[in-house]
Amino acid sequence: MGAIRVTGGIVVLAVYATVLRPSSPHDAVDRTVASAERWQAASREAYDAGRYTDALAPTLELTRAFPNQHIYEQRLALIYQHLGRAVEEAAAWERMVAVSPTPVEACPALPDAYVKAGGYSETALKAFERCVGFDPGNTDMLFYLGRAREQAGRIDGATAAYREAASVNRQDADSQLGLARIDLRAGRNEQALSTATAVLAANPKHADALLIAGMGAQRLGRAVEARTYLQRALQVAERYADVHLALGILDFSEGHVADARRHFERAVELEPARRPEMAVWLDRTRDGQ
């Protein structure tokens, strides 16, 4: 019996030795690689299929396993973007920026995420400025900065950014039109119209240029010309709420109240968040005649 007990003990010890023996470093690497392959396949398959909720968990695993791989943070940011989780999206873009050799690739999505999370805050504006710093002289980044400052009511800063972009690239229509919008704000209607028509000479279907030209002509009392521009804008971009607003105002000024009402209602339908802005015009056209 003693010999049997000893033999049994040897077997037990052998089992413990097998369980407790440290794994080979190669085994750990193999497991990590296998897991990464599963996460990558699951992440990519779900992302490509538009199943962003399903893509989230495996993508998070990839970012934890490979924190210096900016491509995974980029995918995570885009997943959060599709899920409407702006705070998490901004954080993911920030992590991408920290490890990416080309951080400008996070722009303008990074500052846009801050805008979605909290409007044109100081944080958002600083992020737009950082995007310019990532690639100085990039006219797209300068335009985005100008637009953000314009939306925040910082007109002097917007003007400076638009002018810098236009000086780098005289063919930058978007920045030229940014300056034209600022001219409209300041009542420089002739200048705004001139800038818009110059853009239209090169691109007759530029919706923003058509809108600005129409608004400039209307404010100069040239209603027929204004309607021509605005109707062309509507043909190019029927879902552009500002075009409907401008046409509604023009219709109202000419006594076409029912037509004006239809444009104001369509503008609200396209951008429901702007209903307070449209309220005065909806009130004025409530009777539709």
* Three-state SS letters, 211-280: HHHHHHHHHCCCHHHHHHHHHHHHHHCCCCHHHHHHHHHHHHHCCCHHHHHHHHHHHHHHCHHHHHHHHH
User: DSSP state, 105?
Assistant: G
Per mean pLDDT, which range of 53-57, 104-108, 167-171, 185-189 is the poorest? Answer: 167-171
Quick one: what percent of the chain has pLDDT higher than 70? 88
Mean pLDDT of 217-235: 97
Can you say how many angstroms the Cα of residue 236 is from the centroid of all Cα atoms in its chain? 22
Whole-number average pLDDT of the chain:
90
User: Residue 192: CB partners within 8 Å, gap ≥ 6?
Assistant: 180, 181, 183, 184, 212, 215, 216
Of residues 10 and 45, more confidence is placed in: 45
At residue 155, the pLDDT reads 97
CA distances from 253 to 115, 211, 227 (A): 35, 17, 12
Q: Note whether 144 and 108 are within 8 A (CB).
A: yes
Q: What is the mean pLDDT of residues 155-164?
A: 97
pLDDT band at 28 (very low <50, low <70, confident <90, very high): very low
Q: Are 72 and 63 in contact (CB under 8 A)?
A: yes
Q: Can you give the pLDDT at residue 85?
A: 98
> What average pLDDT does the segment 239-264 reach?
96
Residue carrying the six token digits 């909290």: 118
What radius of gyration, in Å, describes the C-alpha atoms of the chain? 29
More confident residue, 1 or 132: 132
Tally of residues, the chain: 289
Q: Confidence band (pLDDT; 50, 70, 90) for 2?
A: very low
**Mean pLDDT (whole number) for 88-111:** 98
Separation CA 73–CA 228 (nearest Å): 47
In terms of pLDDT, which residue wins out, 29 or 251? 251
Instruction: State mean pLDDT over 144-169.
Output: 97
pTM of model > 0.95 = no
pLDDT digits 0-9 by tens, 113-151: 999 999 999 999 999 999 999 999 999 999 999 999 999
**Section 210-218 average pLDDT:** 98
How far apart are alpha carbons 278 and 73 in whole angstroms? 40
Average pLDDT over every residue of 219-233? 97
Sign, Cα dihedral of 25, 29, 30, 34: positive
- State the CB neighbour count (10 A cutoff) for residue 19: 7
